[in-house]
Structure 1
């Protein structure tokens, strides 16, 4: 009796590899936009937290000095997020100004120091720029050019 020998390949066919590659491409196409949105939300959340920390420091400064005059965020102004970032890795620049005259910082000797305004400018045009002041105005806007030190302009969202 003649024995029939079958030989099986131990590799993959080109068709099988192409199907797997198509599946991986579909997963990447779904995952990347979701991840990008997550990163933007995380950066915005970090900026919100830093703004609130600065506002607490401002109120602490006022409780000791009876005004905001002379308040400084530290050696570096503006505050950069993430801390220590440079160039294209900077996500936010946070500046603190006199609320009565936003052209002056609170360390300016001619500043009144009775009010403050904090602006966090996003470096990514797809992320929010924030505005927060001592009168309670809190807003955010994706159009950075609409956010001045006094208003968030059109397209404003509360936060």
Structure 2
């Protein structure tokens, strides 16, 4: 009579592991989830940084209007007080000499570059000596070709475009269009 030890049989059956088919099914499920989740997450992140760019543009526009109420002109507006220089080693997102803000704030890899300019011909800085100070133009240019670039002006233009080279902020330019706009394929925001 052959004696079989049931505890050994049960132990061997539990330690056989997974079959190749079971592992392949798990790999396929993970691949499908990743194929759906990663693009969705990237789209969400693009929308989030675009919303931050719009928010910062509105914040600057509000402060420009406050400046004009106090001084009767936009001349001399410097956004440095909105974005004080952080202590080292953090990255300073605002460049005072060019009135340029990089987003996300304090990031070494900018996803948006916001520029504040005079609304007159040639668009000098509002802190510059050649600025007129009667209007302003704010642009937010995306570093991601899949994200919108934005234009906001004191005259009420609010537009966005996927192609940032279409944005014309110089009303006196000799190249068409000779007006401030986002160009072909743009939409309001």
Q: State the TM-score bracket (shorter-chain normalisation).
A: over 0.9
Q: 1:121: which partner in 2?
A: 141
Q: 1:154: which partner in 2?
A: 184
- Name the CA distance, whole Å, in 2 between partners of 1:30 and 1:68: 48
Offset, 1:9: 3.7
Q: Tell me, which stretches of 5 or more residues in structure 2 are unaligned?
A: 81-93, 170-179
Partners of 1:139 and 1:157 within 8 A in 2:
yes
- Any idea what the Cα deviations from partners look like across 1:3-43, whole Å, max 9, x if unmatched? 56544142211221111011100100011111111011001
Partners of 2:117 and 2:124 within 8 A in 1:
yes
**Aligned structure 1 segments of 4 or more residues deviating by more than 6 angstroms:** none
- Name the CA distance, whole Å, in 2 between partners of 1:61 and 1:3: 96
Q: 1:48: which partner in 2?
A: 54
Q: 2:129 aligns with which of 109, 124, 133?
A: 109
Q: Tell me, which stretches of 5 or more residues in structure 1 are unaligned?
A: none
**RMSD of aligned Cα (Å):** 1.5
Q: 2:157: which partner in 1?
A: 137
- Name the CA distance, whole Å, in 2 between partners of 1:61 and 1:101: 21
Partners of 2:124 and 2:131 within 8 A in 1:
yes
Q: TM-score with structure 2 length normalisation?
A: 0.78
Higher gyration radius (CA): 2
